[in-house]
Structures are given as C-alpha cells and as structure tokens.
Amino acid sequence: MNFWILPPELNSARMFSGAGSTPLLAAAAAWEGLASELGAAASSFASVTSNLAGQAWQGAASAAMVAAAAPYAGWLDAAAAQAAGAAGQARVMVSVFEAAQAATIHPLVVAANRNAFVQLALSNLLGQNAPAIAATEDAYIEMWARDVAAMVDYHSGASAALAQLTPWQDALGNLSGLTFLPGQQIHSAAAAVTDLASNFGFGNLGNGNVGNGNTGDSNFGNGNTGNGNFGSGNNGNGNIGSSNIGKSNFGSGNTGNSNIGLGNSGPTGGQNNFGIANSGSNNTGLSNHGDYNSGAGNLGNHNIGFANFGNNNIGFGNHGSNNIGIGLNGSNQIGLGGLNFDGKTWNIGFGNTGSYNLGFGNSGINNVGFGNTGNGNIGIGLTGDGQLGFGALNSGTGNVGFGNSGTNNIGFFNSGSGNTGFGNSGSTNWGIINSGSVNTGIGNTGTTNTGLWNAGTLNTGFFNPGSTNVGFANAGDTNMGNFNSSNNDMGSFNSGGHNVGSFNAGVNNTGSFNSGNLNTGNFNSGVRNTGSFNSGSGNTGTHNSGTGSTGFANSGDTNTGAFNAGDRNTGVGSSDDQSVANSGFGNTGTANSGFFNSGQGNSGYGNSGLGGNTSGFNNSAAQGFTSGYGNSLSGGFSSGFWNSGTGELDSGFLNSTTHGHNSGFLNTGFGDNVGISNSGTAGFNVGVLNSGDDLAGGNAGFFNFGIGGHNSGFYNSGSEPNPGDPNNSGGFNTGTGQSGFFRP
C-alpha cells in the first residue's frame, strides 16, 4: 500500500475505523496466558520425568524414557518463550498503533475542511473567496502530509515489531529428537482455509474482495463490478467512490476515465474532468459542456469563467468567441456588456452599435462621446459624419431620455430599437446593457430571456448559455435547476439528460448520483435498477452487481435474496446455479426474480407488461424497460413513480401525457415538459404551471399561459395563434414580443 498517494480522507478513515487497538490487546493477553500455561506444563512434565527416573523407575528403560521425553520438555519451554515473545510484540504493536492514531488527523476535521472548500468554491462567483480557498487548500495539504508521516511511522514501527517475531516452524521445528510437529499441518490447513476464503464478505464472485456482492477482483466495498474499486456500485476498474462507470475515477456518479468529482460525463464518457457535472473532457469546475473549460456553466471549448457561449472566452455571460469581459455579444471583444451588436468589434463603453466607438450609446463607426449617430463624430447627440460638439439630447428617432442613438427607446444611451432602460444595444429589451433582443434584465446577450447575463434563448434565471432553462448557469437546454450541462433535467449538476434529481451522468434517472440509465434510486452505475448502489442491471434492491435480482449484494443473476453468487437462487449465500425458470414466489414467465411478476426479465413485485425487463413494484408499461413504482406509460423506458400515458421516456412523479419525454412532477398534456404541473397541447414547457398551447411551445418560467408560446418569466399570456409570435420576457405581459412587466 502506497500511503503517499492516498488523500487524508482515506488515511484518516483507515486509522479511525474498525476496532482500534482492542483486538491487539486481547491477542497480547491471550499469548501471555498461553505462555503461562505452556511454561507450567513444561515444568510439570520435567518434574514428573525427573522424579520417575530418580526414584521409582530405574534401569535401561528409564534412561530411554528420559531421552525420549527431553525434546518434548524442550519443545514446551521453547513454545512458552515464543508465546511470551509474541505477547510482548503485540503490546509493542499496540503502542505503535496508538501513537500513529494520535498523530493522524481526525476524519471529521478532514471532512470539515473539504466542506468549507466546497462552500467557498460554490460562492466564489467573482473570485472574492480566493484567499480563503488558498488557506483551506494549504490546511488540506498539511493534513495530507501529517497523515502520510503518521502512516509511514506506523508502517516502520509495525515492521520493526514484526521483524522481532520468529516463525513457529523455525523456532520449534529444529528441536533435537522431534521428527513430527503439528505446526506444519496447521500451516497447510491455514493455507487451505485462505484459498477457500479469498474473499472477505458474502456474495462475491472473484478473488480478494472485501465487502459484499462484488463481481471481479480486489474490490473494497459492496456491489462493484470490475477490479480494484474502492466504494460501492462502481462499474469499471480502479475507481474510488460510488456509482462510477469507467476507470480511475475519484468521486461519485462519473462516467468515463480519470475524472475527479461528481457526475462528470461526456459523449463517449468524460475524461480528466475536475469538478461537478461537466460534460466533455479536461474541464475544471461546474457544469461545463465541452472541452478544456475552467469555471461554471460554459458551453463551448477553452472558456474561462461562467456561462460563456462559444470558444476561448474569459469572463462570464459572453456570447461568441475570443471575448474578454462580461455580457459581450460577438467575437474578439474586450469590455463589459453591451459593447457591440451583431458581432461588430472593438467598441469601448456601453450600448454602442457599430465598430470602434468610444463612449455610450453611439451608433456608427469611430465615434467618441455619447449618443452619436453616424461616423467619426466627437461629442454628444450628434447626427451625421465628422461632427464636433453638442447636438440634441437624443440623436435617434422617437426616443425619450438622453443619449439614445437608436429608435423608439426610453432611457439612456440605448443604441438599439424599442428598448427601455440603460445602454441596450439590442432591440425591445427592458433593463440594462442587453445586447440581445426581447430580454428583461441585465446583460443578456441572447433572446427572450428574463434575468441576468443569459447568452442563450428563452431562459428565466441567471448566466444560462443554454436555451429554455429556468435556473442558474445551465449549459444545456430545457432544464429546471442549476448547473446542468445536458438537456431536459429537473435538478442540479446533471451532465446526463432527462433526469429528476442531481449529479446524474446517466439518462432518464429519478434520483441522484446515477451514472447509469433508467434507474430509480441513487448511486446506480447499471441500467433499470430500482434501489441504490447497483452496478448490475434490472435489479430491485441495493449493492447488486449481477442482473435481474431482487434483494441485496447479489453478484449472480436472477436471484431473490441476498449474498448469492450463483444464478436463480431463492435464499441467502448460495454460489450454485439452480435449474429453474424463475427465483422467488408466484412468478410466471422466465428469468423473473421477486414476487408475483409476469413476463420476462422482471425483478421486484407485481410487475407485468409485454416488454418485461422491469424493476420495482407494480409497473405495467407495455414496452417494459422501466424502473420505479406504479408506472404504466405504454412506451416504457421510464423511471420514477406513477407515470402514465401513451408516450415514453418519463422520469419523476405522476406525469401523464400523450407524448412522454417529461421530467418532473404532475406534467400533463402533450409532453416534453420539465418541472411541475406544466400542461398544454404543445408541451416544451419548463418551470411551474405553464400551459401555453402554441405549436412551438417553449415557455420557460412560472405561470405562463394562453395559446402563445416562447415566453420567459412570469404570468405571460401572449395570445397570438402563430408559432413563435408571442415571444415575451418579464412578467404579466399579454401582447406579443414584449419585455418588461404589465405590457399589453
């Protein structure tokens, strides 16, 4: 064991878990008792033979008896000395262990440090926590060093104590006159026992496993499939944590290789991600979608910051590529929000439309000042080219306010059209420095957003580079929650799609930390499981690495019970394969486990349906491939509780639609809803109680209704019948293409 590479979480846990020094103290006492008994026996045996030879028994026979008895007396003396030495070294081991434990950081202290680090990192939106994060990491590194030093000292002291022990065969096997000792037989018997008990636990299939229900070799934990895993429910090799798919992952719910964190994945499995819910490879941070991103919620490649949409951006809320700043719309820009419009470049200031402008609200090229319309002007409110001085308050048309160079604006320094607010370079915005269109809020570079610095379209929230999201920093589309890098999730930090829960790298799960698909529960790396920590598929229970079992810690297939390494067993701890169609009771069909299932390949209780391959309780989906409880969705391929209708791919609770594809609670109507109680004939709603019936659907927010769609925000009821016409952001708007609040 290389203690140098193990983090303090593992070294501290190893030192403070288990029975401590109590077994060694008991062993020392037992060895001391044995030494005393052997010494007394040796003295008694020598006394008896001496008295016989010196008094009652004389002659040649007596001499032969003394010669034969002497080696046995010597063996007893040597055994007593050996036992006394073992007792002494056991007490030395106790001292070494207790000294090492005292020098080791307590696991609760390590956990507190890591919790503080996570809290600081999550709240470090503007870098204000950088000194505290550095101090926390320094303390963690010191803990690592102290634990390693303690373990090295422990190893050194234990090795020295063990070196003082002489093997029993060496100590006792060379005594003169003894041609047979039971020690060799004991050694052979022990080796045989070791061969029989190469696994420590129950229901393991393989060698060197410590735990229950593992399939493979050298796993430490429960329900792992593969080799060298430390944790539970892993599927692969060399993973530390739970529910990882792949190899060399550290954390939980990762899909791919060499990821550190929670819920990281990629199109073919994520690689070398550090953080939470990243989708892609070589990302550092939270919920990035792409490769080589650092930060949170970036959609693209090589971005540094938050919620950037594009490539090679530094900052947050940028829409485009090669930008440095905040809320930039276009490419190759430097600055803060609203600097450019339609991708034109190199403006400095706010609300400029055009190129190479310095100031606020300029429309054109090479202007310096405020509210100029034209080219090459220096001043305020100038209209034309090459002007110098002061013009009207506004240089545009139909404006109310100051420094507006656009058309029909209300406010200050707006260079776009139909804006209300400050420094908007887009159109029909309500707020500050929006460079997109029909936005309500601040710094939105996308379209029809309600919130702050959204680079996508139709979002309600903050820093979303994706589209049709309700929440914060979603790089995916159609999500309700935070930091989701995939699509159609209700929850947070999901890199997979169609999940209800958090930290899922898989698809269509109801629960959290699932790297597999179609699971109802937590920490599953397999498929179609109802329960937790399953690395196999189609199981109802926990810690199963096999397939189609009902119970826990089964490494075999189609078992009803626990700790079975064989197949089709009903009971506990069998490694045999049974020649029966089903395990359990009351099942009809084939390959079923559990109770009263009908069909094929079901586990659990009372499942039916033509498709089979269902886990859980009382599911009746016609196409099968379902996990959970009481699901009757005809298309199957669902997880959760009481989902019904004629579609497929539902996750969550009590969804009932004609198309399916719902994630959440109590969604009705057509389908493709994410959230709670969304309805309508078109679907594609995200949020709470949206009921738009437009053919394009697409409401994101809360309580949007009417026959319109494409609304973000609150209580919008646009009524235009044509797809895409409403397009409202904000709240309480009843018209078409409105931003803000209470607009007809």
Encoded tokens for 397: 């048309």
Q: Is residue 349 part of a domain?
A: yes
340-397 pLDDT, tens digit per residue, is: 444 445 677 777 777 888 888 788 889 898 888 889 989 888 888 888 888 888 877 8
The residue with greater pLDDT, 185 or 429, is 429
Q: Helix, strand, coil: what percent of the chain each, to 5?
A: 20, 30, 50
191-231 pLDDT, tens digit per residue, is: 333 333 478 888 888 998 888 888 999 988 888 899 999 88
- Distance (Å, whole) CA 433 – CA 451: 12
- Distance (Å, whole) CA 504 – CA 244: 11
CA-wise closest residue to 44 among 68, 82, 76: 76
8-45 pLDDT, tens digit per residue, is: 888 888 888 777 888 878 888 888 887 888 788 778 77
| Per-residue model confidence (pLDDT) at position 418 | 92
What domain count does the chain have?
Answer: 2
- CA dihedral over 39, 41, 42, 44, signed as positive or negative: positive
HSE, CB side, 13 Å, CA atoms: give it for residue 468.
Answer: 23
The residue with greater pLDDT, 186 or 645, is 645
Q: Is residue 426 part of a domain?
A: yes
Q: Is residue 9 part of a domain?
A: yes
120-129, 447-456, 549-558, 635-644: the lowest-pLDDT one? 120-129
Q: Is residue 293 part of a domain?
A: no
End position of a domain, from candidates 414, 434, 454: 434
Q: Would you say residue 3 has pLDDT above 60?
A: yes
Secondary structure (DSSP) of 96-128: HHHHHHHHSPPHHHHHHHHHHHHHHHHT-TTST
Q: Is residue 385 part of a domain?
A: yes
- Distance (Å, whole) CA 399 – CA 404: 7
Q: Is residue 112 part of a domain?
A: yes
| Per-residue model confidence (pLDDT) at position 680 | 64
127-153 pLDDT, tens digit per residue, is: 677 788 878 888 888 888 898 888 888
Q: Is residue 390 part of a domain?
A: yes
Cβ-Cβ contacts under 8 Å for 362 (sequence gap 6 or more): 347, 349, 351, 352, 353, 354, 369, 370, 371, 372, 373, 377, 405, 415
End position of a domain, from candidates 98, 133, 165: 165
Mean pLDDT computed over 112-126: 80
CATH code for the domain in which residue 103 is found: 1.20.1260.20
- Distance (Å, whole) CA 48 – CA 167: 30
Q: Is residue 8 part of a domain?
A: yes
Element (H, E) at 77: helix 60-103
- Beta-bridged to residue 512, according to DSSP, are 522
152-201 pLDDT, tens digit per residue, is: 888 888 888 777 776 655 555 554 444 433 343 333 333 333 333 478 88
Encoded tokens for 40: 């007394």
| Per-residue model confidence (pLDDT) at position 23 | 80
Mean pLDDT computed over 425-454: 88
598-620 pLDDT, tens digit per residue, is: 989 999 899 887 777 899 898 88
Mean pLDDT computed over 492-506: 87
| Per-residue model confidence (pLDDT) at position 342 | 41
Mean pLDDT computed over 452-475: 87
pLDDT class of 528 with cuts at 50, 70, 90:
very high
End position of a domain, from candidates 113, 138, 165: 165
Q: Would you say residue 516 has pLDDT above 60?
A: yes
- Distance (Å, whole) CA 681 – CA 576: 54
| Per-residue model confidence (pLDDT) at position 707 | 52
The residue with greater pLDDT, 690 or 262, is 262
| Per-residue model confidence (pLDDT) at position 339 | 44
Domain boundaries, position 358:
338-434
549-597 pLDDT, tens digit per residue, is: 999 889 899 999 988 889 999 988 888 899 999 999 999 989 999 899 8
Average pLDDT, the chain: 81
